Amino acid sequence: MQPQRGSTNRTRSGKAATGGSASAGAFELQRSTPAKCSGRRPRRPELTSRGACDLTNAHSLRSTVRTADNLAYMRGLPDASIDLIYIDPPFNTGRQQVQGVAADRFDDYWPGGVRSYLAFLEPRLCELHRLLKPTGTLYVHLDWHAVHYVKVVLDGLFGDTNFLNEIIWDYRTGGVNTRWFARKHDTILSYARQRGQHTFHVLRDGVFRTEGLNYDEQGRPYKTTKRGRLYFHPDGPALTDVWSIPFLSTVSRERSGYPGQKPMALLERIIRASSNPGELVADFFCGSGTTLVAAKRLGRRYLGCDSSARATAITRRRLATTNPAPG
């Protein structure tokens, strides 16, 4: 069985093979135009015997969490049914990811190196492409181990003209390395299903880094120039593709104890930028459910699954205590 994020403490091949063992030349760059995914025929919405819409109808998908293999689950969903997808798959680290209690772990070993890792991930990326609406956006969260390989695959599936951003998440943890600069960021690749039609809202945060900033009687920031007052946006500068958001500390109240949990602030930023209230947000490697909790808080519908029953139990527990934020 192919490894999947959220799987619980199990070995893969009798010995721990290290990820990333293949050389850089092992993965050939063969596609320059969008590739067509092979395999099963996409499922279309159908009517039940009572004439009502089937649960997989794009217009009747309700917020839900499933314990399932994500590839099989996605193949049961209709084309162009989801507004925003975020995934945080295994990173090809070559080690077991553990956090909190002993049950909360998953193996990130890939006996065939990067080739077997991509063989696992590519059909899932293909389904994500199919599931996105023309206005939809995909965010794929990775790190230095495999992001460069996965970007080539995504360029092939989506077309490089639909690439939006390589977001750098600077998570500010401690630690020092004496042989290279400390690796303290993840990379989130963002692709539109059809660039130009995709949903995007400019987000603003922080302060303007400029000297001589003043404020008028209404509290609006401005600088005095030879031509008069130059006003700045009162909500601060527009966000760029470098995000400084602290990682969850070991004593954070957000912590669920599940490995790989990401901060709520990170997911809320993605959801605010690339979806609207009432739209459907999905995470098919949902882990402890931060994406789904953030979606519910922001008034979106959510769809998630994980192969780990413990992960989905944690997710459901968190969702049960989450209410949409006012306003």
pLDDT mean over 81-85: 98
Give residue 21's identity as a one-letter amino acid code. S
The H or E element spanning position 86 is: strand 82-87
pTM of the model: 0.82
Mean pLDDT check: name the lowest of 50-59, 189-198, 203-212, 235-244: 50-59
Backbone φ and ψ for 321, nearest 5 degrees, come out as -105, 15
Six token digits for residue 241? 């593709």
Confidence bin at 140 (pLDDT 50/70/90)? very high
Q: 92: closest CA among 116, 115, 111, 108?
A: 108
CATH number of 37-200+246-320: 3.40.50.150
Domain positions in the chain = 37-200+246-320, 204-238
3-class DSSP state of 64:
strand
Closest CA to 264 of 66, 81, 86, 67: 86
Q: Is the pLDDT of residue 14 over 90?
A: no
* Helix intervals (H) in 187-277: 264-274
pLDDT tens digits along 26-55: 445 444 445 667 655 445 444 333 333 344
Q: How many CB atoms neighbour CB 94 within 10 A? A: 18
Dihedrals φ, ψ of 75, to 5°? -65, -15
- Would you give the DSSP letter of residue 321? T
Q: Which helix (H) or strand (E) element contains residue 223?
A: strand 221-225
